[in-house]
Structure 1
Amino acid sequence: MTTAPDADGSAYGPAAHGVADWPFGMPASATPWPVLPGGAPWPRVRILTIACPDAPGLAATRASVHGQAYPNLRHAVVPPGDPEPATWGADADFDALMVLRPGDLLAPGALAALCLEMTLSGADLVAGLRLVFASKPLGLDACAAPAGPLRDPAPPEGDLAPFTGGEILLSRACVARAGGLDPCAAHPVAALWPRLAEQSARLSRVGRPVLLQHASGDTVAPMPAGLRIASLTDRGYAGGAGIGHRRLTDALALAGHAVAHLTLAAESPPAAAEWTKAFPRTVSAIEGGGFDLVLAGNLHGATRSPAILEDLGRRVPVAAVLHDLFPLTGRCAFPGACPLIDAGCDARCPTPDAYPQLAPNRIARAYADKRAVLSGAHAPLLLANSHWTETVARRLAPAGTRVGRIGLAFPASVFRPGDRAALRRGLGLPADDILVMFASVIADAPGKGAPELAAILRRIAKPGIGFVAVGRLDDPGAFGLPGLVAAGPIGDEDTLARWYGACDLYVTASRDETLGQTPVEAALCGTPTLAYRSTGLTTAVIDGVSGHLVEPVPGSLETALRTLIADAPARHRLGALGRIAVESRHSHASAAMQINDVLVAHGLRPASAGTGRIRFRPEMLAQFAMARERAPGRSGTVPGPSGPGIRAARRLKQALLGRGMPLWLRRGLYGAARLRGGLRAGFRGSAP
């Protein structure tokens, strides 16, 4: 097997496709952990290349296979016309098969990503992204068929065929059921598609490049026409929901859609949210903008009314992302175990002064209005970002409400593993301590389980164990943790990634998350998470792969934390496998593909958009750590640190009034906003 470049492979060097040190080397972080979760060996993989020994590009292909550093791998080069591949479906000495054409290259870590997903999902075939390149990256694409049983028996042929070979891994069993490979076919794997569809073979996808395919010229084919999308939020892209929504819009733009960004706060300030219903300027701008879709995020920071969704739905299809459950309740973001939620929200609400606040006498009407909008002719499509959120949305929404499942996007180019020792030196952290990190926009927020977590961490504190808190923390001393490093709010993604990467463990005691973005960010940085088996965290943390989930009962989180602190090999295994799995499931490409699936399923895109290939702009490559030139992280994602006076005022307010906002104070702020002239001409609402 060729292990070094030769003249034949020189055209495929790093400059050609923007991947550093590839195909003749590989980042160490992409090397698979020796065993799978649970200790099972990695699948035995056989790669088939049908080519003559002197075929152009074959040496580079061999080198890319060798560079995978994958265990249990055999690469067979078979001359054209050899009948051997026809019997491979019955061959029992391998578990998974890939067909790789001469000149095609495996991307760094491709086999680890494909095989781990096949193991976790139990799918018959797993497909990833194909990067087409010449002297520069020309674009990326992927199989557009949604995950699940194959449905299309006759996919398009040619360049839009679902796959050409090396971007897909097939289980031996499904190849055998399909009757084996046809070595004489131009694309032996694509030729299997009709037979696989007849069997309803199950497809899964990884949202990262697995195949690098050389093109003959530098001409970039024009992107197919995408949607014109209006992204609508209350106050923009700061804070957890804002960050998640902005990343979704980035993913859509990289998939060829045109995205415009609008905020309701530009028309009415947050102090008026409880009494504002209409946003005529926003509606007019969207109606006149020629948009195909409105992607609405959290709107309750600007209005507590669903009227804006109905107003827009009469004009443009609306999809509302469930960053929380506010669209389904009378006023709260997370009803938890509230005894009223199944019967209907009303003035008996136990938390009317908690954000998003609403006067008790208005809650029943708000609840009824939301249900009327969700069951009306112009109802929005609700987009749930986890299995739990989808389940709860279907339970709480009126019968017939449209609900789809998507995933959030995360910049895997920014959140990536680094040299832990070097990161600690740069951040001034102890070199040898086991560092446990917890984070939130407000690090001591009760809704994130901060009081419970602080008590747990105090009990496990001892020399050699350190703690890192990221987020707003007005009084670090209140945690009572020796040696606590309070990093404060970090609004720069590159800096935040360094903090994750410098720590050994991430822990959260939250029980209320539609997804939980921080565990995903931590996993991308190679840091495993401990969390409760609760709400959306069951999607954010892949149990046994990117961390551990424990039952939400007293003592379980503490016991698991003590165990993992004492088990360095387990932490390293979870860090290595978690990075691979989470990048595959939560990249920008993965999010764009899942949104495409939902829009096709609900008729907001034509059925043809769910067949053949889905294409991405060349800039999508920069969202992956393997790229030579990576996209930088965003800044300004959370508000900056407050001054001492503001922190003291917040502590005083919490001591006197708690963390809620009583109605008399809300009315006062509303009146002050009116006196300042903060309510612009577009404001419409009732007096408080």
Structure 2
Amino acid sequence: MLEHDGHGIPDGRDRAADHGIAHWPFDSPALDVLPPTLPDGRAWPSIHILTPSLSDAPGFLATAASITGQTYPSVQHHAVPPDPEGAARVEALLADDSADYLLVLRSGDLLAPGALAALALEAVLTDAEVVAGLRVVFGAAVLGLDAVAQAPGHLDAAVPAGHLGAFTGGECLLSRAMVRRAGGLDLPCGSPVADLWPRLAGSRFARIGRPVLLQYEPELDPSPPSPGLAIATLTDHGAGGGAGIAHRRLAAALVLAGHRVAEHRLAGEAVPAGAEWQDSFPRTEAAIRDGGYDLLLVGNIHGATRRLALLDRLRRHLPVAVVMHDFFPITGRCAFPNGCTRLVTGCDAQCPTPTQYPHLAPARIAGVHAEKRALLTAPDAPLLLANSSWTHDYTRGNAPAGTAVARIDLAFPTGVFRPGDRAALRRQLGLPAGDVLVMFGAVIADAPGKGFQDLMRTLRRIARPGLGFVAVGRLDDSTSLGLPNLFVAGPVAEEAVLAQWYGACDIYVTASLNETLGQTPVEAGLCGIPTVAYRASGLTSAVIDGVSGVLVPQEPDALGDALLTLVADEPLRKRLGGLGRIALGNRFSDAAAALTFNDRLVARGLLAPPPGGRQRFSPRLLGRFAYARDRYPGETGTVSGPSSTPIRLLRRAKRAVLGRDLPLWARRGLYAGGLLIRAVRRFR
């Protein structure tokens, strides 16, 4: 039995061309650096890869080369011949306590870049005994991608067959101890992992949303995938702003999973400044009702209406699911209760913040809240989809008893948000080469709901020579912040450019306490920079404490002290950046989001389980990952561009006179003006 440790395969790269790899759509690897240890300081677990063949079998050297390219610190590759000696060596390996995990890889099949580190880190973080990733099936071209469709938890006994070639199990990392308890591996049989799978029932199972296995099937003519759902998405103003961006990304992930998605917006029928009074959108309602859709997927609509009456009417015609980008669907009027206890007893005219957006006249709050609660407990009520564990628990605890709530993951373009050459990016963006740069941002960078005043106090306290700050997002008056060495990027509407700003910095920080997830820490982590944040709200999912960043208690100076620790400790920053890139890429890719979404729909009976127990994806999904040559370039126009000087001055004047909120008389005046403008346009 041949063994190698990932080194010394001189002709493996040349032989890879025999299997199409010379023409494989891979770019040069992203600037990922694998940290030398796990988050707790332990060594990376040992992985033994078993290839049931002779070392001179066709394709073996290509397989070996793909393992060499992993740069994983503790891997051994074994060519296991079909003879008694090979069987005895496998038995000895299963009895060896120094071997942590096994992976069975056919001769000619390949590991995707970074696969071993991704599988191993998820196994360690979740204590899983089986970790499965995506399979890419290829011949002369990419034929498709798929994944085990079982939801994370405890493995069932069904073997995931699928329709993209036989299940070889090469995308599954297996605990060596678990395999031994299950009776071992019969490598000479044609499909050893499929044979083992039923004996793994009840094992702890985890799934990552990134390619692991490149399975070579030169003769395969794959059957067409089963058609997905016809899904209508509904938002107030589309993909602008944080919630709109999140909803668009989720919709794009569902398209890659085979669903047909059509976008609908309320903005075309909305009266300017009329959301507080408008709840009729007949054209949009008719288009959704009569469109032959299987599901309505709703994002934020409170920018166009303060009621859910439209959803109440539509749920009588098709299933409705509402993504909890904030808590508006369960409150009387607000997006984030901020600790207000009236949500439990019933929102009413005693609301402490009726003039804050989304504002509503106090006299109407109780009625709107009662209307929402009735909708959430009605027959065929909407399914509320929470995008973090904290949001799921908060929603379940504060929505009416019996409300349908399920947990999903959001999607991020992991090939756009990727590490870059920090020195080159700083030269390109005009940032100082030697300073430690701390970045903060939001669509509206100085929004009070993002903890902006607390953040400014923190940053002013830690400011010192050699430490710079980068602000991304709308910021009307940066000179008023009193923050030295500040670089203002302004609104960044292109995802690829935003990734450059992240990649040029060293640390990301947020003082927000109100996030159902927190997209910016995930984007930062995918770009290889750690986040410092409070241990609060959905940030406890967006920042993996000790892996992709540091979570601190809500105490004075805690945020600043953690920042100073990272500023002074470059190795720690690099370790968190490297680990975070892997862990967040596993959990927040397009594939990960689509898989969890489909899990929830199958559990609710809204979607049939995928044939063969494998979820298929379009070949275009490959372009969403960092190592693809033809990568998805990212979206543009995600936020509004910089405001003109007069507009900024008007906003500052308005804040000076009225503050950030709008009194009821001002809202009524704006609404009346909107109605007048609409009437004039119709007359013309």
Normalised TM-score (structure 2)? 0.96
Q: Is 1:373 aligned with 2:375?
A: yes
Alpha-carbon distance, 1:218 to partner:
7.9
Judge conservation of contact 1:33–1:576 (CA < 8 Å) in 2.
yes
Q: 1:308 to 1:564 in 2, by over 3 A?
A: same
**3-state SS of paired residue (1:127):** strand
Distance 2:33 2:448 in 1: 40
Judge conservation of contact 1:435–1:465 (CA < 8 Å) in 2.
yes
Distance 1:350 1:428 in 2: 44
- Name the counterpart of 1:448: 450
- Name the counterpart of 1:11: 18
Q: 1:140 aligns with which of 145, 153, 177?
A: 145
Question: Which letter does structure 2 place at the counterpart of 1:170?
Answer: L
Q: 1:406 aligns with which of 405, 408, 431?
A: 408
**3-state SS of paired residue (1:341):** helix
Distance 1:322 1:469 in 2: 27
- Name the counterpart of 1:676: 677
Equivalences, count: 672
Q: Is 1:193 aligned with 2:197?
A: yes
Distance 1:31 1:127 in 2: 23
Judge conservation of contact 1:87–1:181 (CA < 8 Å) in 2.
no
Equivalent residues in 2 for 1:303-452 (5 A)?
Answer: 303-452=305-454
Q: 1:511 to 1:639 in 2, by over 3 A?
A: same
Q: Is 1:103 aligned with 2:99?
A: no
**3-state SS of paired residue (1:378):** coil
**3-state SS of paired residue (2:275):** helix
**3-state SS of paired residue (2:192):** coil
**3-state SS of paired residue (1:677):** helix
Alpha-carbon distance, 1:129 to partner:
0.6
Question: Which letter does structure 1 place at the counterpart of 2:213?
Answer: L
- Name the counterpart of 1:570: 572
Q: 2:181 aligns with which of 171, 177, 182?
A: 177
Equivalent residues in 2 for 1:455-474 (5 A)?
Answer: 455-474=457-476
Judge conservation of contact 1:501–1:527 (CA < 8 Å) in 2.
yes
Alpha-carbon distance, 1:135 to partner:
2.7
Alpha-carbon distance, 1:463 to partner:
1.0
Q: Is 1:128 aligned with 2:133?
A: yes
Distance 1:270 1:185 in 2: 68
Question: Which letter does structure 2 place at the counterpart of 1:662?
Answer: P
Distance 1:678 1:600 in 2: 47
Distance 1:52 1:572 in 2: 40
Alpha-carbon distance, 1:137 to partner:
1.8
Alpha-carbon distance, 1:378 to partner:
2.4
- Name the counterpart of 2:524: 522
Q: 1:149 aligns with which of 149, 154, 170?
A: 154
Identity percentage of aligned residues: 58
Distance 1:158 1:258 in 2: 21
Alpha-carbon distance, 1:570 to partner:
0.3
1:526-548: CA deviations, max 9, x gaps? Answer: 01000000000000001001000
1:233-254: CA deviations, max 9, x gaps? Answer: 0110100000000000000000
Alpha-carbon distance, 1:673 to partner:
1.0
Alpha-carbon distance, 1:11 to partner:
2.7
Distance 2:526 2:233 in 1: 26
Alpha-carbon distance, 1:14 to partner:
4.5
Q: 1:630 to 1:311 in 2, by over 3 A?
A: same
Q: Is 1:228 aligned with 2:260?
A: no
Distance 2:553 2:210 in 1: 32
Equivalent residues in 2 for 1:472-621 (5 A)?
Answer: 472-606=474-608, 608-609=609-610, 612-621=613-622
**3-state SS of paired residue (1:193):** helix
What residue ranges of structure 1 are gaps of 5+ in the alignment? 22-26, 682-688
**3-state SS of paired residue (2:273):** helix
Distance 2:250 2:639 in 1: 17
Question: Which letter does structure 1 place at the counterpart of 2:102?
Answer: L
Alpha-carbon distance, 1:5 to partner:
3.3
Judge conservation of contact 2:232–2:263 (CA < 8 Å) in 1.
yes
Alpha-carbon distance, 1:371 to partner:
0.2
Judge conservation of contact 1:105–1:211 (CA < 8 Å) in 2.
yes
1:504-532: CA deviations, max 9, x gaps? Answer: 00000000000000000000100100000
Q: 1:87 to 1:523 in 2, by over 3 A?
A: same
Alpha-carbon distance, 1:339 to partner:
2.7
- Name the counterpart of 1:20: 27
Question: Which letter does structure 2 place at the counterpart of 1:518?
Answer: T
Q: 1:54 to 1:643 in 2, by over 3 A?
A: same
Cα RMSD over matched residues?
1.7
Judge conservation of contact 1:16–1:137 (CA < 8 Å) in 2.
no
Q: 1:355 to 1:553 in 2, by over 3 A?
A: same
**3-state SS of paired residue (1:572):** helix
Q: 1:16 to 1:138 in 2, by over 3 A?
A: farther
Distance 1:158 1:612 in 2: 6
Q: 1:309 to 1:678 in 2, by over 3 A?
A: farther
Distance 2:637 2:313 in 1: 31
1:31-64: CA deviations, max 9, x gaps? Answer: 5211000211000111100002221110100011
Alpha-carbon distance, 1:154 to partner:
3.2
Distance 1:461 1:184 in 2: 64
- Name the counterpart of 1:39: 41
Question: Which letter does structure 2 place at the counterpart of 1:108?
Answer: P
- Name the counterpart of 1:661: 662
Question: Which letter does structure 2 place at the counterpart of 1:184?
Answer: P
Distance 1:161 1:600 in 2: 24
Judge conservation of contact 1:506–1:528 (CA < 8 Å) in 2.
yes
- Name the counterpart of 2:628: 627
Question: Which letter does structure 2 place at the counterpart of 1:154?
Answer: A
**3-state SS of paired residue (2:199):** helix
1:285-341: CA deviations, max 9, x gaps? Answer: 112111000110001111111111111110010110000000010000000211312
Distance 1:379 1:162 in 2: 41
1:133-164: CA deviations, max 9, x gaps? Answer: 2232221111111111113x233546469942
Normalised TM-score (structure 1)? 0.95
Q: 1:156 to 1:331 in 2, by over 3 A?
A: same
